[in-house]
Amino acid sequence: MNTSVTLSGLKLDNPVIPASGCFGYGAEFAELYDLDILGSLAIKGTTLFPRFGNPLPRIAEGPEGLLNAVGLQNPGIDAVCETALPCLKKLYGKPVIANISGFSLEEYAACARAMDAQENVGIIEVNISCPNVHGGGMSFGTDPRAAAEVTEAVKRTTAKPVYIKLSPNVTDISEIARACEGAGADGLSLINTLLAMRIDLNTRKPVLANLMGGLSGPAVFPVALRMVYQVYEAVKIPVIGMGGVSSAEDVVEMLLAGATAVQVGAANLKNPFAAKEIIADLPRAMRKYGIENLRDIIGEAH
């Protein structure tokens, strides 16, 4: 059985990738198992300048899911390139996915330029769920024109494959996907978290200090699957599917919907061995459903 897949010329031994923000820079997980079993891994979202993130509390539980309003806490692009990525290179021998964020086109371009110079970065993943500070605060990812502008700005600065991470908080995700493809994106990652909230019945106030946060976990899987299916039909570039993936069966389902690879997010926070266990269980699922080669089933549900 063959579990390998290819993303923009980058061959992965399997399609399982820990998602950005749910795996740090790999160091903590490297103490638990050999990271080289992973198809790849997406590092924590990086911004141009260091960010402390949102005030506490910024995590809340939901039925079959988790809300977070961490607020892109990270040490900034210089620290990531000078310290985090070199350290990760000693722990993980394959190319990684570098997730970048920004609040202006200039910030996105600067982060992409810095990641372009990093030897162990194979793909640059661009989070367009940030508010555009020069565009009235609306998220780059909710406007096709703004999404295309970010894509173009990043593509001008790097020769590495660029994957745009799409927000699900839109009316028509296919429209955003087509705009990114038209602007030169090499691939798409979806979905980012769904906007959600919880209220504390004792205080009668929102649980999160930020009021609202992003919902992830099994609760969002059917929504993510639907959007991957729609985007696969809308574009010709590869898709990385994510959103509630927590089993080998979920991986197979995502590939059938059109994903070439998947990212595992909240499952890693609940069980730090989640990605390892999903990879180990893939051959069983492939045997059960008569799959010899994972690449053969990509988009088969269409």
- 192: helix, coil or strand? coil
Locate tokens 């600065």: which residue?
157
pLDDT band at 134; cut points 50, 70, 90: confident
Question: Is residue 181 a part of any domain in this protein?
Answer: yes
How many H-runs (helices) and E-runs (strands) does the chain carry? Answer: 10, 15
d(CA 199, CA 204): 6
Long-range contacts of 284-290 (CB under 8 A, 24+ apart): 284/248, 285/248, 285/249, 285/251, 285/252, 286/1, 286/3, 286/252, 287/1, 289/252
Eight-class DSSP state of 43: P
Residues known to be catalytic: 130
Residues 15-71 have pLDDT tens digits of: 999 999 999 999 999 999 999 999 999 999 999 999 999 999 999 999 999 999 999
Residues 147-184 have pLDDT tens digits of: 999 999 999 999 999 999 999 999 999 999 999 999 99
Question: Quick one: pLDDT at residue 82?
Answer: 98
How buried is residue 133: exposed, middle or buried, by Cβ count under 10 Å (0-12/13-18/19+)?
exposed
Across residues 236-264, what is the average pLDDT?
98
Residues 62-102 have pLDDT tens digits of: 999 999 999 999 999 999 999 999 999 999 999 999 999 99
**63 CA to centre of own chain:** 22
CATH of the domain at 274: 3.20.20.70
Across residues 120-133, what is the average pLDDT?
89
Question: Is residue 302 a part of any domain in this protein?
Answer: no
Q: What is the domain count for the chain?
A: 1
Question: Is residue 171 a part of any domain in this protein?
Answer: yes
Question: Is residue 75 a part of any domain in this protein?
Answer: yes
Domain membership of residue 119 as a residue range: 5-297
- pTM to 2 decimal places: 0.97
